[in-house]
């Protein structure tokens, strides 16, 4: 019943609405996405959907906020459930970020520090990074953004995900005492000479991806089937190093879809995505890397009912759950986003 209602409302609005759905959404919502994707793909889609009056973003708050920045205020962006936030983004409050950065500038006087914020951050943090002419990155382009940022500065300040920052540093050969850490409790933590520092990582992580452990990989590798391990780069360094492949949600899906029938995959990312992959690829063996429940609790706050609710309200001329940003925030966040798009 509810599903018929949603379908007929989507039909009613035709090109007036576009529904964007992140790969971690529940199936009951995901199936209505006009487009599905990872953070990078969805933010690019948000800029290209010029005809639509409304973007209904089935994802988390920072994603809808990014769409609101990129759509330039011309389209209304709606998040079907306002409780769908990202706890990792909340681990970098703007006041702490600003004071940490000014402290680092003092400590590393004479060096040009380029800030990079993972797209999983608040619009205020994105705007701060834009003011400093830094970059936004996503899990699919962090490599390239590191290179671009190093071509413009001596050191990087990477936030909020320490794991994506550490794993990308490792790919660039930056390890050990070349990496500093900004502890939210204790401030700057260095393990060696400050002259060696190339990257400072923020004290943030994703609790979902923290659940994957090296022992889970050992379990699959010890079995008799030739499992390949693929993980999201938000996993810890130990897990990332032991995995055969890593990539954004879109890259994980593409790698497995393009793999030969009969192959074996253990996947280290959110459960809704892995279960869907399993169903859609019956000729491959696909398992989640851990038995822990890796459903992102905030992503999955959006239910079909929430989608129905925003559509019903729209039909009555009411825009509920609109996500907006101020012109000031938009202006500076766009600098950081455009720096990313230009790479
Ligand atoms: P992707 O950009 O890979 O979709 O990741 C977003 C995210 O929140 C992962 O936890
Ligand atoms: Fe945030 Fe982790 Fe959920 Fe992604 S999976 S939205 S990083 S809490």
The residue written with tokens 């497995």 in the block is 256
Determine the pLDDT at residue 49: 83
296-340 residue pLDDT tens:
999 999 999 999 999 999 999 999 999 999 999 999 999 999 999
Determine the pLDDT at residue 51: 85
| 281, two tokens | 């690829």
Q: How far apart are CA 138 and CA 141, in angstroms?
A: 6
Q: How far is the CA of 232 from the centre of ligand 1 (A)?
A: 8
- Provide mean pLDDT across the span 4-13: 95
Which residue's CA lies nearest to atom 5 of ligand 2? 296
Which residue's CA lies nearest to atom 6 of ligand 2? 86
Angle, vertex CA 266, rays to CA 299 and CA 22, nearest 5: 25
Report DSSP letters for 55-109, one per residue: EEEES-HHHHHHHHHHTTTSSEEE-S-TT---HHHHTS-HHHHHHHHHHHHHHTT
| 264, two tokens | 């074996």
- The answer, yes or no, to whether any atom of ligand 2 lies below 6 A from the CB of 299, is yes
Determine the pLDDT at residue 203: 98
Strands 155-159 and 135-137: unpaired
Nearest atom in ligand 1 to the alpha carbon of residue 24 is: 4
Domains of the chain (ranges, CATH numbers): 2-85+298-324 (3.40.50.10800), 89-205 (3.40.50), 209-288 (3.40.50.10800)
Nearest residue to 336 (alpha-carbon basis) of 95, 38, 122: 122
Determine the pLDDT at residue 50: 81
Q: How far is the CA of 139 from the centre of ligand 1 (A)?
A: 7
Q: How far is the CA of 60 from the centre of ligand 2 (A)?
A: 8
Counting ligands in written order, which one lies closest to the CA of residue 294?
2
- The answer, yes or no, to whether any atom of ligand 2 lies below 6 A from the CB of 250, is no
| 100, two tokens | 């940490």
Nearest residue to 180 (alpha-carbon basis) of 168, 192, 163, 167: 192
Q: E strand or H helix at 285, and its extent?
A: strand 285-288
Q: How far apart are CA 155 and CA 235, in angstroms?
A: 23
Q: In what order do the strands lie in the sheet with 113-118?
A: 135-137, 113-118, 155-159, 199-202, 179-183, 187-189
The residue written with tokens 């930056």 in the block is 174
Determine the pLDDT at residue 106: 97
In Å, how far are 57, 136, 222, 270, 273 from 206, measured between CA atoms? 21, 18, 27, 11, 16
Determine the pLDDT at residue 268: 98
Strands 285-288 and 264-268: parallel
Determine the pLDDT at residue 66: 96
SS3 6: helix
Q: How far apart are CA 156 and CA 114, in angstroms?
A: 5
Q: How far apart are CA 132 and CA 105, in angstroms?
A: 12
- The answer, yes or no, to whether any atom of ligand 2 lies below 6 A from the CB of 60, is yes
| 227, two tokens | 């499992």
Radius of gyration in angstroms for the set of CA atoms belonging to the chain, rounded to a whole number: 20
pLDDT over threshold 80, residue 73: no
Nearest residue to 343 (alpha-carbon basis) of 171, 161, 149: 149
Q: How far apart are CA 108 and CA 93, in angstroms?
A: 22
Counting ligands in written order, which one lies closest to the CA of residue 87?
2
Q: How far is the CA of 9 from the centre of ligand 1 (A)?
A: 29
Average pLDDT of every residue of the chain: 96
93-131 residue pLDDT tens:
999 999 999 999 999 999 999 999 999 999 999 999 999
CB-side neighbour CA atoms (13 Å) of 77: 31
Q: How far is the CA of 89 from the centre of ligand 2 (A)?
A: 8
136-191 residue pLDDT tens:
999 999 999 999 999 999 999 999 999 999 999 999 999 999 999 999 999 999 99
């Amino acid at each position: 019943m509810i599903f018929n209602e949603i379908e007929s409302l989507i039909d009613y609005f035709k090109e007036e609405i576009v529904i964007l759905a992140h790969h971690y959404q529940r199936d009951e919502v995901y199936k209505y996405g006009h487009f599905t994707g990872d953070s990078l793909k969805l933010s690019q889609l948000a800029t290209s959907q010029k005809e639509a009056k409304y973007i209904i973003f089935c994802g988390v708050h920072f994603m809808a906020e990014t769409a609101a920045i990129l759509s330039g205020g011309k389209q209304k962006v709606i998040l079907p459930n306002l409780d769908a936030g990202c706890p990792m983004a909340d681990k970098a409050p703007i006041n702490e970020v600003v004071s940490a950065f000014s402290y680092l500038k003092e400590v590393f006087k004479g060096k040009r520090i380029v800030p990079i914020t993972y797209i999983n951050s608040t619009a205020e943090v994105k705007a701060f990074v834009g003011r400093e002419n830094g970059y936004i990155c996503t899990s699919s382009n962090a490599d390239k953004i590191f290179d671009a940022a190093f071509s413009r500065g001596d050191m990087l300040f990477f936030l909020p995900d320490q794991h994506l920052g550490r794993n990308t540093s490792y790919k660039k050969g930056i390890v050990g005492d070349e990496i500093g850490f900004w502890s939210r409790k204790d401030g700057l933590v260095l393990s060696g000479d400050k002259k060696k520092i190339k990257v400072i990582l923020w004290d943030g992580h994703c609790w979902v991806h923290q659940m994957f452990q090296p022992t889970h990989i050992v379990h699959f590798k010890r079995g008799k089937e030739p499992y390949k391990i693929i993980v999201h780069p938000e996993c810890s360094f130990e897990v990332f190093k032991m995995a055969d492949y890593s990539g954004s949600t879109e890259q994980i899906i593409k790698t497995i879809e393009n793999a030969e029938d009969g192959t074996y995959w253990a996947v280290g990312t959110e459960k809704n995505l892995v279960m869907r992959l399993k169903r859609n690829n019956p000729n491959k063996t696909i398992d989640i890397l851990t038995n822990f429940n890796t459903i992102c609790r905030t992503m999955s706050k959006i239910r079909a009912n929430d989608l129905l609710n925003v559509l019903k309200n729209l039909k009555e001329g009411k825009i509920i759950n609109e996500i907006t940003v101020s012109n000031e925030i938009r202006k500076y966040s766009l600098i950081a986003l455009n720096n990313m798009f230009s790479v």
